[in-house]
Amino acid sequence: ILPFQVVGGKVKKPGKRGRKPAKIDLKAKLERSRQSARECRARKKLRYQYLEELVSSRERAICALREELEMYKQWCMAMDQGKIPSEIKALLTGEEQGKAQQNSTKLVKAGKTEANSSNP
């Protein structure tokens, strides 16, 4: 295979196809390059700001979780000593009251449906 082809009496060399690039004004090309660089720096700055905000929010979440873990450790140590922390007592009494309220509303609703079904 030859590195060129003869088509219709003309010699064609292999290479890029299509339109040949026009002579571009050097100043315009430099200005486009500068503009592209400015846009790239702006995108980079925004990306770093986003990442910094993400890191700081994750750090705040970590601190909150550590505080919560420390609170649970304190509760466990108190219960190991036979003491029930007031927070747990409040949770337990709140749950018991909530269950009692749920049961009473269920009874009231059941009574209403029975009353409605007995009336023809």
Q: Is residue 30 part of a domain?
A: yes
Q: What are 58-116's pLDDT values in tens digits?
A: 999 999 999 999 999 999 999 999 998 888 888 888 877 666 666 666 655 665 555 55
Residues facing residue 10 across a β-bridge: 7
User: What is the token pair recorded at 100?
Assistant: 């009692």
Domain total in the chain: 1
Give 1-39 pLDDT, tens digit per residue: 455 566 666 666 666 666 666 666 888 899 999 999 999
What is the span of the domain harbouring residue 79? Answer: 26-93
Q: Is residue 113 part of a domain?
A: no
13's enclosing H/E stretch is none
pTM of full prediction above 0.85: no
Q: Is residue 37 part of a domain?
A: yes
Q: Would strands 5-7 and 10-12 be described as parallel, antiparallel, or unpaired?
A: antiparallel
